[in-house]
Structure 1
Amino acid sequence: MRTSEEALHSENDTVYHIRRGDVWKIHSTDPHSARSTAQTARLSLCLDFADADEPLAIRNDIPATEPIRVPERPEVSAAELEELIDSGRKFTPETMRADFRRFAAVHFERRAHATAAFDWYLEAARRSGDEDLVAKAQAFRTYCIEKRDDGEGFDW
């Protein structure tokens, strides 16, 4: 409904831009994400068809007339990755939620699978030396990409 070139979506290891007016079917069991760095917030409508065994057909599908924009993303360097993971030494219970944003951003800027951020985040939490933070990072990974109950929220 409202978007900009800075608004990106992803599924697995592919990052792409959804144009205004586009309708997409995303299988929610595949790791997926969204990010916008624009000044004006992205506005979209998501419909969740729970309990559908098969993907639902969208009536009067209209094929795309322009190619989808898939931004080029360079590989993440070993030095960048080490710096990111080593930042876990500074994790605290109060900062963990905000700290994850840096990990999630890498997927949109560098070539990496959507789940890699959670693996790196867990490794970073291990470097904190705090088992409670490691458990929180593992629980967050499980909640986001492995399993959660319908209507469940994550308690930071």
Structure 2
Amino acid sequence: MRTHYVADTWLDDSRLAKDLAQTDSIPWSEAYSDYVFGGAWKSCMLWARGGSAGDGVVTNYDHDRPAAFTEFADQLPYLRELIESVADLDRLNFVRLAKVQNSVIIPHRDLLELSELADETRNAHRMHIPLATNEDCFFNEGDTVYRMRKGEVWFLDASEIHSVAVLSSEERVHLMFDFVDVPSTKSLITVEGAGPEAGIPADRTVKRPPLTDADRAGLMRLADVLTVETVNEIFSIVIKKHFRYDGGENFVWGTMIDIARAAADPAALPHVEELRRHYTLERSAR
């Protein structure tokens, strides 16, 4: 299933605000924060295998047990109702409430570490519903940068290399749904107005100016300060540049490899190449 906008779903702002305020008393997991430069990727599990909130790492749940609402969902009645109203619970595997601010996420593929799981328990389709966002929150797939707006329902092809930028101190909060891929006569979602897979609408796509030769030269000068110890900071700069300027396909990883190849630290290039393998090609379950 390719990345595409599905439809809008109505949100009750008053009840939503009450639930989001309630999450301040819930312990958030920082699992997967190694994907993030700048801050933490925080999540709390609302629906999971065995109904356990767990530690947020999807491979650490008992996949032999049926999925159910967690204790956190029981504290958030509106979000629980929203989940029940939009998703096919029979194929729903996980639902996480996720928030991030002032951060960028490394270009990566998801699902790589789940290949050993059976089809009936393996995440196969991912859906997002933004609950709080702003104009400085971006997604990208390939060379396309786009925005998801509050209350919109999106399917994300997490098997494609994608990234996220939240270039604001305002928290971006999303509901993330993971479904299994098993035969069913029902739709994965029950959202009124859902249409065919039409891709990313043009009015959600961010039109970025082309990256200039001077910009590229400036990025290459980062080789002077790139070491294994500074790779995260350099990565953050390159990713932010990607979300503001169009450098072409595979810009982030290609640029990082070029910078690492020119760096004086001989460990820099093998380190960046290993990061690329881990995040985009092959990853073991933790």
TM tier, shorter chain? 0.7 to 0.9
- Which residue type is aligned with residue 110 of structure 1? Y
Q: Which has the higher strand share?
A: 2
Structure showing greater radius of gyration is 2
1:125, 1:137 within 8 Å by CA — same for their partners in 2? Answer: yes
What is the alpha-carbon distance in structure 1 between the residues aligned to residue 246 and residue 192 of structure 2?
A: 31
1:15 alignment partner, one of 140, 145, 157:
145
Is 1:27 the equivalent of 2:157?
yes
Q: 1:113 to 1:46 in 2, by over 3 A?
A: farther
Shift of 1:121: 0.6
Is 1:38 the equivalent of 2:168?
yes
- Which residue type is aligned with residue 117 of structure 1? V
What is the alpha-carbon distance in structure 1 between the residues aligned to residue 136 and residue 174 of structure 2?
A: 14
Instruction: Identify unmatched segments of 5+ residues in structure 2.
Output: 1-130, 196-200
CA RMSD of aligned residues (A): 2.4
Query: 1:45-72: CA deviations, max 9, x gaps?
Result: 222336x379x732235349x9743221
What is the alpha-carbon distance in structure 2 between the residues aligned to residue 81 and residue 67 of structure 1?
A: 27
2:213 alignment partner, one of 78, 90, 93:
78
Is 1:116 the equivalent of 2:265?
no
Query: 1:109-130: CA deviations, max 9, x gaps?
Result: 1113563211111110111132
Corresponding residue number in structure 2 for 1:48: 178
1:74, 1:111 within 8 Å by CA — same for their partners in 2? Answer: yes
Q: TM-score, normalised by structure 1?
A: 0.82
1:62 alignment partner, one of 171, 187, 193:
193
State the SS of the aligned residue for 1:47.
strand
State, as a whole percentage, how many aligned pairs show the same letter.
Answer: 23
What is the alpha-carbon distance in structure 2 between the residues aligned to residue 28 and residue 41 of structure 1?
A: 22
- Which residue type is aligned with residue 36 of structure 1? V
1:10, 1:114 within 8 Å by CA — same for their partners in 2? Answer: no
What is the alpha-carbon distance in structure 2 between the residues aligned to residue 40 and residue 22 of structure 1?
A: 19
What is the alpha-carbon distance in structure 2 between the residues aligned to residue 41 and residue 33 of structure 1?
A: 17
- Which residue type is aligned with residue 58 of structure 1? I
Q: 1:140 to 1:99 in 2, by over 3 A?
A: same
What is the alpha-carbon distance in structure 2 between the residues aligned to residue 61 and residue 120 of structure 1?
A: 43
2:223, 2:264 within 8 Å by CA — same for their partners in 1? Answer: no
Corresponding residue number in structure 2 for 1:89: 224
Corresponding residue number in structure 2 for 1:98: 233
Q: TM-score, normalised by structure 2?
A: 0.47
Is 1:132 the equivalent of 2:263?
no
Corresponding residue number in structure 2 for 1:154: none
What is the alpha-carbon distance in structure 1 between the residues aligned to residue 269 and residue 182 of structure 2?
A: 36
Corresponding residue number in structure 2 for 1:4: 134
Query: 1:57-107: CA deviations, max 9, x gaps?
Result: 32235349x974322101111121121022112112221112100111122
What is the alpha-carbon distance in structure 1 between the residues aligned to residue 277 and residue 271 of structure 2?
A: 10
2:227, 2:267 within 8 Å by CA — same for their partners in 1? Answer: no
State the SS of the aligned residue for 1:39.
coil
